[in-house]
Amino acid sequence: MLQKKREKIRVVVIDDSPTARELLVALFQADEEMEVVGTGGNGEDAIRLVSRLRPDVVTMDISMPKVDGLEATRRIMREIPTPIVVVTASLMRKDVDMAFESLRAGALTAVKKPGLMDPETCERLVKSVKAMARVSVVRRWDPAHPRPAQPAVSSASAAVDISPETQQQVQMIGIAASTGGPGVLAKLLRPLPADFPIPILIVQHVTDGFATGLAEWLNGETALRVALASHGDRPQAGSVLMPPDDYHMQVNVRRVIELYKGQPYKGLRPSANYLFHSLARAYGASAVGIILTGMGDDGVDGLKALHQAGGLTIAQDEESCIVYGMPKEAVANRAVGRILSPDHIAFILAQLAKRGEEKSYG
């Protein structure tokens, strides 16, 4: 019996540089699983081509004439939801900020634009585009075109209350996120006050070169101090630390940050497993572990260890995830105590912010 031939991944390439477009087209056409069905030089082209061709995935430049990549992403995700991969050559602050705003608007990931003499980046781009083409995306709403009113978070607050004892004992919060994570992280951190009494450590999977930009972008979204960690840092109240590119981050038993180039977990460095395992050892029941939207299962094994150590463990719910991969695996492996929406996770963090007695974290 003949096997049905698998349909190719249909790609639209948007870039205002003819040279860059030609390189991207050549890369995708060279892969037997991919087919470029349209190209354009600005956001207007992107919107028109996506509406007409309904591709499986779009690669989107950021800085373009007429309509830039951010606005095009907002329009596409509002009108014709389609997987979008942001591809940018510049790591300047303005372009990186636009890239992360695009992720908040619904783009799935951001990658560096490859060069002819950079086969590793070319391979990473092709792999990322193929993976994102398989993600089911949903309509996104922006402030100018708000979605219909939803019930207030307070209506279900009783379901996510934490006990006064838990509020007082928490000394560390660890968060893991991947695809779709930056926007959720911004949502969770934005309401927190500058004097939030508990340090926060985050592992968010990003393409090499984007860690600094992500920290700077999140720092502008919240009153907390968001920065890349350095080896030997001591986590402080009111601060959020993230690992630099290509480093695992963990906390030792003296509660000091360690950065190291250990074995990647399924190609991932940093891996949230290292972070969560270290929180289980160093903090046990006084740590909170949160696993957010993302592909794969990174963080699940470490979160299970934290759960077994008595820590409060939370997974983002399926309905709100861009990709229900990491949370799904955490739930399946009985690594979480609660499954909550970002609004309800934010409600728990707000309860921790209001606790009466502050602790010393040294």
Active site positions, annotated: 178, 205, 298
The residue type at 258: E
d(CA 297, CA 307): 16
In DSSP terms, 40 is beta-bridged to: 14
DSSP string, 107-140: --EEEEPP-TT-HHHHHHHHHHHHHHTT------
d(CA 85, CA 259): 29
Alpha-carbon distance values, 196 to 199, 238, 316, 357 (Å): 8, 5, 22, 12
**Does residue 270 have a cis peptide bond before it, meaning omega lies within 30 degrees of 0?**
yes
Length of the chain, in residues: 362
Q: Is 216 exposed, middle or buried (0-12, 13-18, 19+ CB in 10 A)?
A: middle
Dihedral angle sign, alpha carbons of residues 324, 327, 333, 336: negative
